[in-house]
Amino acid sequence: MQSMTSFPRTLVFFDLETTELEPSIGDIIQLAAISGDHTFNVYMMPEVAIDKKTTAVTGFEVKNGKLIQDYLSVSKMTVTLHQALTSFIAFLRSLKQPVLLAAHNAKLIHRHKLEKELYRCALTDQFKQLGPRFLDTCQLSKALFPGLGSYKQNNLSYPFLGKINIAHNALKNATALQELYSCWNPDQESVIQYSF
């Protein structure tokens, strides 16, 4: 098995929360990442309304012009999408290069959403200068542990970590994903196979 420290790229586990339960179509309202002890976490005021179903599941809503999660205001921490993505790129630059961005369903959702918003903010070139690659931990978990009933991240937390993860908080999800990866301790060949 390959430890996180000996992999040739710095692993950065990231997640995002959006205004829709289907992340590929909504506005990003939270972007977070973790790499070892280094964390990144920002909130953005959405340009579109947060879907009622999303509020029921995640606790995110806009009331009186303020972004709230679980009845607590996070408005003092909100930035524009451009500021959030610029800060995210700076966070990635602060880490040992090159980086491998790991997310559950990275191939289907996270990479496309992130790249779409980077393009929208004219930050694609700055991001690509980092030479990032992506790792889809959902596909990795299917290869490492065939036959599980579910490969949703929150369903993987209990059997591997002994705790339930139902958080709809990008930083908590990214942290849980880092813990899962550490528990799985995949070999370098498997990681490379599910990186793109």
> Would you say 189 and 177 are in contact if contact means Cβ atoms under 8 Å apart?
no
What's the pLDDT at 61?
93
Give the dihedral sign, CA 150/185/2/173.
Answer: positive
Q: Which residue has the higher pLDDT, 162 or 60?
A: 60
Q: Is residue 68's pLDDT more than 60?
A: yes
Which helix or strand (DSSP H or E) is residue 118 part of? helix 111-120
Helix (H, G, I), strand (E, B) or coil at 125: helix
pTM of the full structure: 0.91
What's the pLDDT at 108?
79
Mean pLDDT of 147-167: 85
For the chain, the average pLDDT equals 91
What's the pLDDT at 163?
81
What's the pLDDT at 6?
55
What's the pLDDT at 8?
81
Helix (H, G, I), strand (E, B) or coil at 115: helix
